[in-house]
């Protein structure tokens, strides 16, 4: 995507604070000295069977890019693809109800949308948020010495693949659905209150891919401790049984080249770190003197945040993974 965009001659505009040049989560446009628009769009095919849950997850995922930038989402537009001749309209209604409930929970007004006929249901939101440019959090501010936090456990890609392969138990379905539908709002509120150097959300490129992007944008390297990275229970077993999405494999192929893994980390440990996430947690780079405040704030907000490593000096974008 970045490669295609780089072939376009996009005119520069001083009010575009974050545009297509950095692989950031959302675009940011300055309206006035202390107010900027944050805009993002995300939609995809269903990763869970229940249409209401699909709606909730897709909405939480789309809102996440606004939260990752320390901004407050205010309005959203529905984006829908639906096979109206093949599926009952009740399904479409359930998807939209899921999205609406998530938006309402986020304090976001859905103000419109657009539907097209499609062979397979697709759903998501185009979200508009607001932020004070002085409080904007991008993916480019990580500095050596920063502590790295992750606010949701990994494994949603492997888990949803296990569900499709009928390997998962109902309790697994429940757990991963709740995780994917959880808003990153409380984590973002703590992050902006504490003050952090950089953040992004973990989605399709997995932990390693999104960490790599943050490090490249910041001109730094990192060391993470594999055992400190939270992972959904059950994921190891499913990964060993081969329930690994193609995207996670290609993430490891691609981003694995930027990583130096401890020899004792087998293929399964590595693939989980690269697992493509749907509506994953925030990945936050916080100066060391604020790490305790961030940890305490997350705990008080009920967010399962884990400190997984630190930013270090080194070749830009390199990740050392310790066992």
Looking at beta carbons only, is 205 or 261 nearer to Co ion? 205
What Å distances lie between residue 34 and 17, 25, 152, 185, CA to CA? 12, 20, 31, 21
CB of 71 to Co ion, least distance (A): 12
Q: CA 7, CA 22: separation in Å to the nearest integer?
A: 14
What Å distances lie between residue 266 and 137, 236, 269, 271, 274, CA to CA? 35, 12, 5, 9, 13
Looking at beta carbons only, is 25 or 175 nearer to Co ion? 25
- The reply on whether position 175 binds Co ion by CB under 5 A is no
CB of 24 to Co ion, least distance (A): 8
Looking at beta carbons only, is 25 or 275 nearer to Co ion? 25
Looking at beta carbons only, is 17 or 239 nearer to Co ion? 17
Q: Of 74-82, 108-116, 125-133, 198-206, which part binds Co ion (CB under 5 A)?
A: 198-206
CB of 74 to Co ion, least distance (A): 18
Q: Of 143-151, 164-172, 194-202, 298-306, which part binds Co ion (CB under 5 A)?
A: 194-202
User: How many residues of this chain bind Co ion (CB under 5 A)?
Assistant: 4
DSSP secondary-structure letter at 309? E
CB of 213 to Co ion, least distance (A): 9
Q: Are 186 and 303 in contact (CB under 8 A)?
A: yes
Residues 5-34 interacting with Co ion (rule: CB under 5 A): 25
CB of 233 to Co ion, least distance (A): 25
Residues 104-123 interacting with Co ion (rule: CB under 5 A): none
- The reply on whether position 65 binds Co ion by CB under 5 A is yes
Q: Are 220 and 142 in contact (CB under 8 A)?
A: yes
Residue nearest to Co ion (CB): 25
Q: Are 307 and 147 in contact (CB under 8 A)?
A: yes
- The reply on whether position 216 binds Co ion by CB under 5 A is no
Burial code of 130-151, b = ≥16 C-beta within 10 A, e = fewer? ebebeebbbbbbbeeebbbbbb
CB of 265 to Co ion, least distance (A): 26
Looking at beta carbons only, is 92 or 103 nearer to Co ion? 103
Q: CA 212, CA 256: separation in Å to the nearest integer?
A: 10
Looking at beta carbons only, is 91 or 211 nearer to Co ion? 211
Q: Beta partners for 126?
A: 41, 77
Binding test (CB under 5 A) with Co ion, winner from 53, 146, 201, 310: 201
Q: Are 228 and 306 in contact (CB under 8 A)?
A: yes
Q: Are 218 and 141 in contact (CB under 8 A)?
A: yes
Residue numbers at the binding site for Co ion (CB under 5 A) = 25, 42, 65, 201
């Amino acid at each position: 995507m970045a490669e295609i965009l780089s072939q376009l001659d996009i005119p520069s505009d001083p009010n575009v604070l974050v545009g297509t040049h950095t692989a950031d989560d959302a675009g940011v446009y300055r309206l006035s000295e202390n107010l900027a628009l944050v805009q993002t769009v995300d939609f995809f095919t269903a990763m869970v069977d229940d249409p209401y849950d699909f709606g909730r997850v897709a909405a939480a995922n789309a809102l996440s890019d606004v939260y990752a930038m320390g901004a407050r989402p205010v309005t959203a537009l529905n984006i829908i693809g639906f096979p109206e001749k093949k599926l009952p309209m009740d399904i479409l209604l359930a998807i939209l109800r899921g999205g609406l409930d998530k938006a309402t929970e986020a304090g976001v007004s859905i103000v419109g949308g657009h539907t097209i006929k499609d062979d397979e249901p697709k759903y998501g939101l185009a979200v508009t948020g607001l932020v004070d440019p002085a409080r904007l959090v991008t993916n480019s501010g990580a500095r050596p010495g920063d502590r790295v936090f992750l606010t949701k456990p990994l494994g949603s890609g492997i888990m949803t693949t296990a569900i499709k392969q009928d390997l998962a138990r109902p309790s697994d379905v429940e757990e991963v659905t709740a995780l994917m539908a959880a808003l990153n709002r409380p984590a973002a509120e703590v992050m902006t209150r504490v003050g952090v150097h950089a953040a992004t959300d973990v989605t399709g490129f997995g932990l390693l891919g999104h960490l790599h992007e943050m490090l490249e944008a910041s001109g730094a390297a990192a060391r993470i401790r594999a055992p400190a990275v939270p992972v959904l229970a059950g994921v190891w077993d499913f990964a060993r049984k081969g329930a690994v999405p193609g995207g996670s494999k290609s993430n490891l192929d691609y981003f694995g080249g930027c990583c130096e893994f401890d020899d004792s980390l087998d293929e399964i440990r590595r693939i989980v770190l690269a697992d493509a996430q749907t509506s994953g947690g925030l990945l936050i780079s916080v100066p060391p003197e604020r790490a305790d405040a961030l940890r305490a704030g997350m705990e008080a907000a009920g967010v399962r945040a884990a400190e997984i490593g630190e930013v270090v000096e080194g070749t830009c974008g390199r990740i050392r993974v310790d066992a």
